Structure 1
Amino acid sequence: MGKEFKVKRKWKFCCAVTAILIIVIAVVLVTLAFTLFKPKDPKIIPQSVTLEGFRLVVFPSITGNLSLELAVTVDNRNYGGFDYDNSTAYINYRGNLVAEAPIGKDTIRPRSKHNVSASVIIFADRLAADGNFLNDFFAGVFNFTSSTRLQGKVNVFNIFKLKASSSSSCNITVFIQNQTADSVCTSKIRL
């Protein structure tokens, strides 16, 4: 009887230690999931918006183009890398689509910064279709918005691979007289 009691006691002790260990591991994993591994929105830092060229002929018809070079740095503050597929940046003028810029697939490493650039050519006839074009032209300022959505996968420690999408939007102001441009961007990530 004494031997059976010791075996049962050891068995109960082993089960209790295992249960406590499982609870501690579960608490640690839940805590990490809501703190350290919680996805954070990437910071998009505009590096430069360069007006590469501006050519406009108003008479007899409006023709020409506006060439922009967009460069941003994506600061991935997450502990997982982001592999994104080919995508497109859309440029709008007063709500109307005026240009598209392809963005090639790439990887943003965990806790690092990544430079992304794209060249955009906006044709004047698309701008002129808007009734406010001449007012903006004579004021010397064009305001554009760009939107980009990157689809891909987040890879955390080569263990967890989750589908994710990151979207960003930028307000771009082009000053015609001194041929410069400024931009302000925001971004979001969804798992």
Structure 2
Amino acid sequence: MNSDDAKEKPGAPMLAAQAPKSNGDMETQFANGVGGGSKRKKRNLKICICVTLIILLLIFIVLLILGLTLFKPKNPTATVDSVLVDQLRTSVDALNLKANLNLTLQAHLTLKNPNRVGFSFGSTSALLSYKGQLVGEAPLPANRVGAQKTLRMNVKLTLMADRLLSESEVFSDVMSGSIPVNTFVKVAGKVHVFNIFKISVKSSVSCDVTISVSSRNVTSQQCKYSTKL
């Protein structure tokens, strides 16, 4: 009887080693596993955010370099190719030193866009002045000029006789045979680079024109151009 008990005793430690772990031990391991996974997720999220920010920064730098070099905005230029007399009628009242003047001009304008991107401009007006006094205007609707394209416009400017305040000067000019007028056009718009950078551009042209009363033609035309970013 004693000998059998002695043989069974060595098996007792083995049963103790194989005994299942307590609930406390299992909960501790589970908590450690969950906590470790959460930390890994946070670390991976931070890495992902950093990589994304770096990529966006590199893209912005590349676009900025291209915008300042290859796509660097250039000044669109507005020019007056020609000014023609469409209609000219004069009548003189020598006794009262008065003259009636009916004048319509046809101006041919060109707007060139040297940029590699489109240029959009808002509505504006072509102005006709006589000795610094506004006597006529014609609307120019908003439009867009494509990349490295040219837009041609024809404008009809009619002198409004009721705006001529100094009839004595008109009389003198009609009698001398030449009428000085000025045409002015200003175009303001924006150049869009990658639809990110928007740069304001202004271009204007002012032309002093002399018209012959006898031939009803333009005898001289001197224009000044201005562009500004």
Unaligned runs of 5+ in 2: 1-53
Q: How much does 1:139 deviate? A: 2.7
Partner amino acid, structure 2, of 1:167: S
Q: Does residue 68 in structure 1 map to residue 78 in structure 2?
A: no
Larger relative contact order, structure 1 or 2 (CA cutoff 8 Å, min sep 6): 1
Q: Does residue 134 in structure 1 map to residue 171 in structure 2?
A: yes
Q: Which has the higher strand share?
A: 1
Q: Secondary structure at the match of 2:118?
A: strand
Q: How much does 1:127 deviate? A: 4.0
- Match runs of 1:89-108 below 5 Å: 89-108=126-145
What is aligned with 1:144?
181
Deviant stretches of 4+, over 6 Å: none
Q: 2:80 aligns with which of 29, 42, 46?
A: 46
Q: How much does 1:103 deviate? A: 0.8
Q: Secondary structure at the match of 1:135?
A: helix
Q: Residues 53-81 of structure 1, C-alpha deviation per residue, up to 9 Å, x if partnerless?
A: 11122237533410101111112112232
**Please, which moves more after superposition, 105-114 or 167-176?**
167-176
What is aligned with 1:186?
225
Q: Residues 142-189 of structure 1, C-alpha deviation per residue, up to 9 Å, x if partnerless?
A: 222222222333223444334443333222222222222253241313
What is aligned with 1:83?
120
Q: 1:84 touches 1:107 (CA, 8 Å); kept in 2? A: yes
Taking the aligned partners of 1:70 and 1:188, their CA distance within structure 2 comes to: 20
TM-score (ref. length: structure 2): 0.61
Q: Secondary structure at the match of 1:132?
A: helix
Q: How much does 1:96 deviate? A: 1.1
Q: Does residue 57 in structure 1 map to residue 91 in structure 2?
A: yes
Taking the aligned partners of 1:80 and 1:66, their CA distance within structure 2 comes to: 39
Number of residue pairs the alignment of both structures matches = 171
Q: Which has the higher helix share?
A: 2
Unaligned runs of 5+ in 1: 1-17
Q: 1:111 aligns with which of 109, 134, 148?
A: 148
TM-score (ref. length: structure 1): 0.71
Taking the aligned partners of 1:80 and 1:121, their CA distance within structure 2 comes to: 35
Q: Secondary structure at the match of 1:62?
A: strand
RMSD: 3.1
Q: Residues 115-138 of structure 1, C-alpha deviation per residue, up to 9 Å, x if partnerless?
A: 022111113454461643233223
Q: Percent identity?
A: 31
Q: Which has the larger radius of gyration?
A: 2
What is aligned with 1:175?
212
Q: How much does 1:87 deviate? A: 1.1
Partner amino acid, structure 2, of 1:180: N
